DNA sequence: CTGATTGCAAATCATTTGCAGTCAA
DNA sequence: TTGACTGCAAATGATTTGCAATCAG
């Protein structure tokens, strides 16, 4: 989805194409996989437009959410984050996230392996799935290595 | 998991077994699949203990979260909700939720169909999944029926 | 022009925290 | 007895809102 497409969506919705709106969109688009918070978007926006207000960021992400241009994500750290909607994936479904409980790093996954789960829900509950959100919590390879080292150290400590 | 088990967990953690803590636990346990908010737990607690404070609810759910007796869930409505940890399911993994975008009702699912996804993440990223959270958004059978009716009405309206 | 949008500051509202009194062990 | 726990009220911090000025169409 490019700027022009979004401009079209804005107009179709009877909304105006403003510098602030396009700037927020571009900031989110140019930081893929970074899951920016409103405050982070605000700080980046201020670099080129120091007069912009934080309220504008909040109002703009709401507009972009309504247009399904972006999606909301949270990783239980008290912040709402925003990312481009993965509309490319025919299904319209969002991608998944793997969150490391060790270092907090977030990995984005593209796999769409929930089809069988969604079919099951349709059959058993008559529930039609239109979107999903998957978060995997665990340890990334780096943190697993660190943990192993720590365990070795603890063992040596104990065996003293 | 019963009261006695939790009392044991509290003692093992060097924490005290208080009426407030057991009451909050019992309220959450006796409202399965209702995904209570702190405020809702507070209102239910006040029925029998009008002097209890909301801060105690927040502090208590934090303790129960630390002990992995309960889990946190959010459905993007601005509230944090709490539910008993589905520790029964050998894997220690949480169950899934299907959230109706029509009426907001939440269905709990027990299926554990993410194994292949988790294996893939392990192979490709070296990321070890220890827990996951799955939310399916869509329309429940009731709301689908309502939508169909509405569509028929719209069509009739258009064809006038 | 003119209503939508913005920036600012003040308001909201869920959650957290300090503190003095209370209670479990 | 005594440190952990609780209730209360005040503080915090992300997000929202009212309003006058500004801007897109």
Q: Evaluate whether A36 touches A24 at the Cβ level (below 8 Å).
A: no
- The CATH number of domain A1-86 is 1.10.10.10: yes
Question: What are the Cα distances from residue A73, in Å, to A114, A135, A158, B25?
Answer: 19, 10, 42, 29
**What is the number of alpha carbons within 13 Å of residue A135 lying toward its C-beta?**
17
- Asked whether strand D has any atom less than 7 Å from the CB of A49, the reply is no
Between residues B4 and A150, the one the model is more confident about: B4
> Which residue lies nearest C17, CA-to-C1' measured?
B55
- What phi and psi, each to the nearest 5 degrees, are found at residue A95? -85, 175
Report the candidate in B143, B19, B98 with the shortest Cα–Cα distance to residue A133: B98
Q: Where in chain B is the domain with CATH 3.30.1490.190?
A: 91-160
Q: What does the buried/exposed string (b/e) look like for A10-29 if buried means 16 or more CB atoms within 10 Å of the residue's CB? A: beeeeeeeeeebebbbebbb
Which residues from the 117-146 window of protein chain A have CB within 7 angstroms of nucleic acid chain D? none
B28-67 pLDDT, tens digit per residue, is: 999 987 899 999 999 999 999 999 999 999 999 999 999 9
Q: Is the pLDDT of residue A103 over 70?
A: yes
Q: ∠A138-A140-A145 over CA atoms, to 5°? A: 115
A20-35 pLDDT, tens digit per residue, is: 999 999 999 999 878 9
Q: Which residues of B touch A114 (CB under 8 A)?
A: 113-114, 117, 134, 136
Q: How many CB atoms lie within 10 A of CB B20?
A: 15
Mutate to test the interface with A, among B128, B135, B143 (most CBs of A within 10 A): B128
Q: Which residues of A touch B117 (CB under 8 A)?
A: 96, 109, 111, 113-114, 134, 136
DSSP state of B38: H
| pLDDT for position B93 | 67
Task: Report chain B's mean pLDDT, rounded to a whole number.
Answer: 88
Q: Evaluate whether B60 touches B27 at the Cβ level (below 8 Å).
A: no
Q: Which residues of B touch A62 (CB under 8 A)?
A: none
Burial tier of A151 (Cβ tally within 10 Å: 0-12, 13-18, 19+): exposed
> Which residue lies nearest D13, CA-to-C1' measured?
A78
> What's the rounded Cα separation, in Å, for the pair B49 and A91?
50
In terms of CATH architecture, what is B91-160? 2-Layer Sandwich (3.30)
| pLDDT for position B28 | 97
> What's the rounded Cα separation, in Å, for the pair A133 and B156?
36
Task: Report chain A's mean pLDDT, rounded to a whole number.
Answer: 88
CA distance A67 to chain B (A): 16
Question: What are the Cα distances from residue B19, in Å, to B23, B85, B155?
Answer: 6, 21, 59
- Asked whether strand D has any atom less than 7 Å from the CB of B22, the reply is no
Q: Where in chain A is the domain with CATH 1.10.10.10?
A: 1-86
> What's the rounded Cα separation, in Å, for the pair B56 and B19?
11
């Amino acid at each position: 989805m490019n700027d022009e497409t979004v401009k079209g969506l804005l107009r179709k919705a009877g909304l105006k194409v403003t510098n602030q709106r396009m700037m927020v969109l571009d900031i989110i688009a140019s930081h893929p996989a970074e899951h920016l918070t409103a405050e982070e978007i605000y700080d980046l926006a201020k670099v080129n437009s120091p007069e912009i207000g934080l309220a504008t960021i909040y109002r703009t992400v709401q507009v972009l959410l309504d247009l399904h241009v972006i999606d909301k994500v949270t990783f239980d750290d008290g912040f709402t984050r925003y990312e481009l909607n993965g509309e490319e994936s025919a299904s319209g479904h969002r991608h998944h996230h793997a969150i490391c409980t060790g270092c907090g790093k977030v990995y984005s996954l593209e796999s769409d392996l929930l089809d069988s789960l969604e079919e099951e829900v349709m059959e058993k509950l008559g529930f039609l799935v239109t979107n999903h959100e998957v978060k995997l919590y665990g340890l990334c390879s780096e943190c697993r290595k660190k943990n192993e080292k720590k365990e070795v150290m603890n063992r040596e400590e104990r065996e003293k």
